[in-house]
Chain A
Amino acid sequence: MYTNEMLESMKKVEAARAANASFEPRRMTAEEKDILLKTYHPDYKENEFAVLQIGPNKGDKVPTELAALLQANSRVNPAEIDLSAPDYDVDVLIIGGGGAGASAAIEADNNGAKTMIVTKLRLGDANTMMAEGGIQAADKPNDSPAIHYLDAFGGGHFAAKPELLYKLVTEAPEAIQWLNDLGVEFDKDKDGTMITTHGGGTSRKRMHAAKDYSGAEIMRTLRDEVLNREIPVVDFTAAIELILDENGKAAGAVLMNMETQEILVAKAKTVIIATGGAGRLHYQGFPTSNHYGATADGLILGYRAGAKLLYADTLQYHPTGAAYPEQIFGALVTEKVRSLGAKLINVDGEAFMHPLETRDVSAASIIRECSTNGKGVHTPGGVGVWLDTPMIELKNGEGTIEKRIPAMMRMFAKYDIDIRKEPILVYPTLHYQNGGLDITADGMTGVENLFVAGEAVGGIHGRNRLMGNSLLDIIVFGRNAGRNASEKSKSVTVGKLSLEHVNKFAAEAEAAGIHSDIVSPKLLPDYARKK
């Protein structure tokens, strides 16, 4: 139930609604944003990071929780694994069954490769399924891939790898076309024109959507296509260590059945890591909008095998996680709510910022409003600011919410909150892993025949990602990895399989005086209550 403070504040929001709706808050200057981020963004909290003592990124800082996993013990004892009779022998092994993995599988299959997906949960259990707001592509006449490039490059603090970002923006329209041809239902006008909106930090309206089920619509279509092609999917089976061959090239993975713990060996000519993000590591104690399986497994696997990380110290905190009611604490409230016209309002009913700043700036601004400025709204379990959803219908007419953001309406309606009539409370939630494994434009890491796609990649977006560029990157780089890994597999002869790199990594830890009592990859968060 709402507290008195919440009810009082809600009255102020309602009273100021008409004025706030027509008020256009100014955007912050570059300097203001810099200071704001350095003071309030969680990425800048020095004591939340640790310096890696071993591995390819020795000397670099990463979140404390990630460092612990990267430098932890393997789940396997190489001496106990029989690599001589693999259970699976394929051309392309894809680890992860989300949007990137499925896209890669479809393209590898197109290219005639014997392809297999392993996933620790089900095909489609991924952050892709939960992406709500949309997917960017510069396909309108007033837009161009160059403008898209500038938006993303600036939004990512000029840190993206240019060759990756070039690929992202130039292949974006084709990615939309590919999805459309597979049967994805994008929101369109009667004449076929895509209905597009802004996202935070975009300078053109290039956000394509499928209501607020954009990711779900894409994921279920890709899943259906993988099944139609009868590409083998080994589900409830996690990759727990990569296998290299005697020449140090990626050559498969050690797998574990999640339910029976049976160990299996998959041999492959090329391997694609498409394991997604890390929200379930709950960096800095944040709640997360991520899928149950988002535990950075691919980063651990790749790192132990010698692949480098890039920007592993930058995370995205989505500005609008649900702050109330507690049952959905941390769940994503899509940015599309702001794209459609809802503004961020403080306890006194003031629109304290422009609603479409980039995500890192918006998150930091909300944290400032709730801390130093003391203008947050206290809930029974925390604090938040209002996202004034009724403004959407004030601006776009009645029925807009049900038509454009039905998932949001449903999520809150389950707790008797009608977002058409009442504002909702939000606070930043851990949303996206900006960094990941370092790749070249062909999708390959420094470890030969080891490819990466999707959220496990670092460097496509730089140090912050714009809304709608992640659904885009899983398609563009998923397809890219699928094509290149399958092409490469045609000329690969796999040498003798080896887990020697696991021994070597353990020895390096020993030499550095690291004595960890945990094993990694983590696979699933541990939410079971211990008495």
Chain B
Amino acid sequence: MEQMVNVFLMGKKYEVPSSLTIMKAMEYAGYQLIRGCGCRNGFCGACATIYRIKGDRELKVCLACQTQVQDNMYVATLPFFPLVKQVYDIEKIKPTEQIMMQLYPEIYSCIGCNACTKSCTQGLNVMQYIAYAQRGEYEKCAEESFDCVMCGVCSSRCPAGISHPQVAMLARRLTGKYLAPKSQHLEDRVKEIREGTFEELLENLMQKPIEEMQELYNHREIEK
């Protein structure tokens, strides 16, 4: 016999097997999910969820697809949160401190309550990456925020109205485009291809009979 637990989905009680994730528990209860369900593997941030265990004061947060149910769990899903996403031209902006002031000035209203960090479904140090963004330290902000799935729970808890995932998104793009070192070998190869360096070699290959291609493939040298 499966062990069962009581969960309260949006306050309504259901009895579900204890081995299920919150997402599967909702489906077990009969929900056909449309919102609040995406990759089902912890990468997309669609299933941000807030819960409280009966008798416990603390509100907890998680991704519904990555979290097992517990007995007396009160679950509220957060399938959408109105984050502020500023529009900018990545070709025109520069990785200066001013750009954050222009696009996301509210980050300077951070009161240091750390509610964002406490609420991160990925366990990231959100307040720290906002601090890096404030100081224009975009590489550090990018690294600290890298595993963000943009679920928006941090922003839902923020008294200063900061859209943390969007701030981090900007910092990562600035880092990737402007601050990370250039890859010379990549630029060289793109140039070689444009100049047609490999064309003859490839056309030659494409015309070979299958038997010859099999020979080449089966005996190709594999880099250690």
Say yes or no: B220 contacts A150, CB within 8 Å.
Answer: yes
User: What's the least CB distance linking B189 to chain A, in Å?
Assistant: 4
User: What's the least CB distance linking A454 to chain B, in Å?
Assistant: 16
A258 contacts partner chain B, Cβ-Cβ < 8 Å = yes
Docked Cα-Cα span, A434 to B163, in Å, equals 39
Q: Which residues of A contact B220 (CB under 8 A)?
A: 147, 150-151, 154, 203
Say yes or no: B177 contacts A225, CB within 8 Å.
Answer: no
Q: Which residues of B contact A38 (CB under 8 A)?
A: none
Give the contact stretch, choosing among A7-15, A66-74, A174-182, A420-428: A174-182
A285 contacts partner chain B, Cβ-Cβ < 8 Å = no
Number of A-B contacts (CB under 8 A): 220
B136 contacts partner chain A, Cβ-Cβ < 8 Å = no
Query: With A410-B147, A528-B27 given, is the CB distance from A162 to B206 under 8 Å?
Result: yes
Docked Cα-Cα span, A188 to B40, in Å, equals 30
Taking CB atoms and an 8 Å cut-off, the chain B residues in 207-224 that contact chain A are 210, 213-214, 216-218, 220-223
User: What's the least CB distance linking B63 to chain A, in Å?
Assistant: 9
Q: Which residues of A contact B150 (CB under 8 A)?
A: 220
User: What's the least CB distance linking B197 to chain A, in Å?
Assistant: 9
Q: Which residues of A contact B180 (CB under 8 A)?
A: 185-186, 188, 192
Q: C-beta contact mask, A154-178 vs B, less than 8 Å → 1, else 0?
A: 1000100010001001110110110
B37 contacts partner chain A, Cβ-Cβ < 8 Å = yes
Of A139, A194, A215, the most chain B CB neighbours within 10 A belong to A139
A85 contacts partner chain B, Cβ-Cβ < 8 Å = no
User: What's the least CB distance linking A335 to chain B, in Å?
Assistant: 15
Docked Cα-Cα span, A151 to B216, in Å, equals 10
Of B34, B147, B189, the most chain A CB neighbours within 10 A belong to B189
Docked Cα-Cα span, A153 to B215, in Å, equals 12
Report the interface size class on chain B: 35 or more
Q: Which residues of B contact A184 (CB under 8 A)?
A: 176
Query: With A205-B223, A531-B30 given, is the CB distance from A411 to B39 under 8 Å?
Result: no
Q: Which residues of A contact B177 (CB under 8 A)?
A: 180-183
B89 contacts partner chain A, Cβ-Cβ < 8 Å = yes
Q: Which residues of A contact B186 (CB under 8 A)?
A: 137, 139, 173, 176-177, 180, 194
B81 contacts partner chain A, Cβ-Cβ < 8 Å = no
Which of A170, A176, A227, A236 is close to B85, meaning CB atoms less than 8 Å apart? A227
Give the contact stretch, choosing among B4-12, B42-50, B153-161: B42-50
Query: With A182-B173, A184-B176, A192-B182 given, is the CB distance from A150 to B46 under 8 Å?
Result: no
Say yes or no: B20 contacts A190, CB within 8 Å.
Answer: no
Taking CB atoms and an 8 Å cut-off, the chain A residues in 235-269 that contact chain B are 236, 258-259
Q: Which residues of B contact A211 (CB under 8 A)?
A: 146-147
Chain A: interface residue total (CB-CB under 8 A): 88
Say yes or no: B21 contacts A144, CB within 8 Å.
Answer: no
Of A138, A182, A185, A188, the most chain B CB neighbours within 10 A belong to A185
* Residue in B closest to A192 when the chains form the complex, CB atoms: B181
Of A151, A153, A213, A220, the most chain B CB neighbours within 10 A belong to A220
Query: With A130-B44, A185-B172, A224-B173 given, is the CB distance from A174 to B193 under 8 Å?
Result: yes
User: What's the least CB distance linking B220 to chain A, in Å?
Assistant: 5
Say yes or no: A125 contacts B217, CB within 8 Å.
Answer: no
Q: Which residues of B contact A58 (CB under 8 A)?
A: none
* Residue in A closest to B143 when the chains form the complex, CB atoms: A185
A476 contacts partner chain B, Cβ-Cβ < 8 Å = no
A3 contacts partner chain B, Cβ-Cβ < 8 Å = no
Which of B39, B40, B190, B214 is close to A174, meaning CB atoms less than 8 Å apart? B190
Docked Cα-Cα span, A169 to B28, in Å, equals 45
Which of B187, B202, B216, B218 is close to A166, meaning CB atoms less than 8 Å apart? B202
Q: Which residues of A contact B147 (CB under 8 A)?
A: 211, 213, 406-407, 410
Say yes or no: A192 contacts B184, CB within 8 Å.
Answer: yes
Say yes or no: A221 contacts B40, CB within 8 Å.
Answer: no
User: What's the least CB distance linking B224 to chain A, in Å?
Assistant: 9
Top 10 nearest A-B pairs by Cβ distance?
A183-B173, A154-B217, A192-B181, A183-B176, A185-B176, A183-B177, A139-B189, A528-B32, A527-B27, A162-B206
A-B contact pairs, 25 of them (CB 8 A): A121-B38, A125-B38, A125-B44, A129-B44, A130-B43, A144-B201, A150-B220, A153-B213, A166-B202, A166-B206, A169-B202, A170-B202, A173-B186, A185-B180, A186-B180, A190-B181, A192-B183, A211-B147, A216-B43, A221-B173, A227-B85, A259-B35, A327-B20, A406-B146, A524-B34
B interface residue numbers (CB < 8 A to A): 19-21, 24, 27-35, 37-44, 46, 66-68, 85, 87-90, 122-123, 142, 146-147, 149-150, 169, 172-177, 180-187, 189-190, 193, 198, 201-202, 205-206, 210, 213-214, 216-218, 220-223
